[in-house]
Structure 1
Amino acid sequence: MAEEPMHSLARRFVDAWNSRDTAGLDALFHPDFRWHIAVTDHGDPEMRPLNSRLLHGMNLPWGKAIYNKKETIDIFSGIFAASEQFSLDLRTVIASGDRAALELVGDAVNPANGRRYDNLYCYVLHERDGQLVLLREYQDTLLLFDVWVAQ
């Protein structure tokens, strides 16, 4: 039985990530591709400021919440360069038509401080013309902040 197209796209994305294949990611991403780090509402690129006294003046390492194809490839290349290993373990794919929801576990170690990064992710993917046009990423941002940002 043939695999659903969105299942195949999801697996191709994870395989390209895990092999650090930026050319493969570039081919997989539609020219209109957007990566939306889901810390803001749909279509809102502005990062929300952190409000607690403890985190006053700090923020996550992003300047905005939505990135185009080139910006995404550049950021992913930086992640690959900064960490010798950062893998994604695809646990579940639920697909319908041109959309899929993925459950994944990220696995990395921050080489600057030795902290383990074992984040839980939900990716919502949209496809157009056989390529990914949207990757909306949900994750534990407190873990991200603790491993990659906090002193």
Structure 2
Amino acid sequence: MWQQSVITLRARPRGFHLVTDEVQAALPELRACRRGLLHLWLQHTSASLTINENADPAVRRDFERFFNRLVPQGTSGYEHDDEGPDDLPAHFKASLLGCQLSLPVADGCLALGWWQGIYLGEHRDHAGSRRVLATLQGETL
């Protein structure tokens, strides 16, 4: 089986957001997959996808603090600021974390670890909705 669709994630404020449930809800085809692979491709250059802790919201806040120290806004010497002072720092953060994930599927569910969830890293101060191209490949139940 092959299935491909675009998931539109709702707009969120800057920070790291757990989107596992939103992704799964947008893909009812997952339930028909015995084993396979879900590839997620974020179609933006100022946000990112990653896997990490799904239980304690402090982890997501700490991620935001860490990346803001690593790539601060307002650093002089860069040319690209077409969309404001958060523009280039957002691109840097997105490049560090990446825009794609490959996730195993087993028995109709994402085969994530107990404490794992899908994060959207929103790196812009005022971003809109985000599009994710989801490609599911696998054997049906």
TM-score, L = length of structure 2 = 0.25
Taking structure 1 as the reference length, what is the TM-score of the superposition? 0.24
Higher RCO (C-alpha 8 Å, min separation 6): 2
